[in-house]
Copies of this chain bind each other. A is one copy, B any other.
């Protein structure tokens, strides 16, 4: 893409109403635009990143046999009353129709998926059922000041699995744990798996946490074996529950969690199956969340310097930021596009070298390629990794080997 075709612009001055690094850098780079506290528009560059995150997640959820569906945001109040959460779920946005219907704006979808499956599930032969969606969710968060880390409107992948018994469920739970680790590895985020409270509906849960001072969670991480527990279920200053080693307290951002669900929702909605002998049982289930917009914010929290964002390769909006300084780089651009490279080409004529470099740093593509009269003297371009300090000179004919 040519930068001149992009209607957004980077901003030299940080937004006044943002406190967190991810919101500041994403707004300055032209990735997102704040519309209200915790509510953002995803601009072309931001949507590219979000789509990359979501496509990786989709591929890995498909790989474990998930069937993708799309549930609505408007949930009938009756469903939330059936689980007792209409009044208990504090962060529930509510709305109503002029013609009588009352709705919750879905912050999670147990209230939809359980009654839905009653139409399709009757026998053990129908199990397991594994479904997921990647969809927009709503939560009336009190402190919506952390950019994409804690938004009132956000995007999330939520996966629900249903099994004929806890044993099968637990087996799939282990499979999902591996799928999550692979997903985050592909995205380029280093995650810590932490044991945590299961809340009201589960005995335990596993959280996928990324170390960051911007995080709202605290873990006790074992210095010896690397296992971790969320502070909410740990005694202060405790030793490792696995190996007895010394633990350290670290701040983290939760980017995913997996819960074996107790029978609560199955009871609320009477979701049962008949076994081989025709006897009825409540279905055993698990739920598996992953916040895709939060992942995007987290990547910025752990991937930036004072000059801007440093995207992991797999979710960068473009792989290569091509800058033509006092030389037109259109030929190099066309050549790289023809070879299937993802290039953002800064073709602006009015901008100075300093502005172009600053923008490349803001936007944070993994590799910057510069063509100038100076580099042209010996048929070269300058290549610099966003994460590196120094550049190297490479002959134009060899460029594709390097990018």
Interface residues of A (CB under 8 A from B): 5-9, 33, 35-37, 39-44, 47, 50, 65, 67-76, 90, 93-95, 97-99, 101, 103, 105, 112, 116-117, 119-121, 126, 129, 131, 136, 138, 140, 142, 152-153
Contacts and interface: CB of A to CB of B under 8 A. Distances in A.
B36 A50 contact: no
Given A47-B70, A99-B142, A101-B152, 18 more contacts: A5-B67, A33-B119, A35-B72, A35-B116, A39-B72, A39-B74, A39-B103, A43-B69, A44-B67, A44-B68, A47-B69, A50-B70, A72-B153, A73-B138, A74-B138, A93-B95, A95-B95, A105-B105
A7 B126 contact: yes
A101 B119 CA distance: 38
- By secondary structure, the A interface counts as mixed
B140 A41 contact: no
A70 B95 contact: no
A103 B36 contact: yes
B76 A35 contact: yes
A244 B126 CA distance: 62
Contacts of A70: 41-42, 47, 50
28 contacts: A5-B65, A6-B67, A7-B120, A9-B120, A35-B72, A35-B112, A35-B116, A36-B75, A36-B76, A37-B101, A39-B72, A39-B74, A39-B76, A41-B71, A41-B112, A41-B116, A42-B69, A44-B69, A47-B70, A73-B73, A73-B138, A73-B153, A74-B138, A74-B152, A95-B105, A97-B152, A99-B140, A136-B136
Contacts of A33: 116, 119
Nearest to A37: B101
Most-contacted residue by chain B among A5, A69, A99 (CB, 10 A): A69
A8 B97 CA distance: 30
A190 to B, nearest CB: 27
A142 to B, nearest CB: 6
Most-contacted residue by chain B among A42, A72, A75, A116 (CB, 10 A): A72
Nearest to A40: B72
Contacts of A73: 73, 136, 138, 153
Contacts of A97: 93, 140, 152
